[in-house]
Amino acid sequence: MTDEEKRSALAKHRLQQAEQSLDEARYLLAGGKSLRSVVNRIYYGMFYAILALLIFEPYASSKHTGVLAYFNRRFMKSGTFSESLGRSLNRAFEMRQRSDYREYADLNPEDVDLLLEEGVQLVAEVRKYLENHIPPPNKENPPNQP
């Protein structure tokens, strides 16, 4: 497998993780489970989509804040994605931080519903961008059949 094929496979895997995380968020929300858990899954769905983008960039970070800062610098300031998607990602990060690390974090169900919609939109936009801007891996042409 070439490096290009490995990157494409990893991006596809990250997008699958993003979709799975959003599916988990829907399941938890529909089951009346903890809004903290729902926000966590929404944020990670968005984060995995961003990681799929960064596979094709000359950047790596082990910190969420570094990944988000690079995304904002590279993709938001250039207008590649709408400002509203950038705000949604930053809001998801803040809500997850608040709900995971503060003792008493009140989450509003309406805010969580909106965040889920925004998460779905972000993942769809990233998928569309990758489909339109990242060439598929080169495949060797099969030999001509007589």
Whether pTM > 0.75 for this model: the answer is yes
Helix (H) or strand (E) holding 79: none
pLDDT of residue 61: 86
Taking only the tens place, the pLDDT of each residue in 28-77 is: 999 999 999 999 999 999 999 999 999 999 998 889 999 999 999 999 99
Query: What number is the average pLDDT over the span 117-128?
Result: 97
pLDDT at res. 144:
45
Q: Which of 121, 122, 126, 114 is nearest to 38 (CA)?
A: 114
Domains and their CATH numbers in the chain: 3-133 (1.20.120.330)
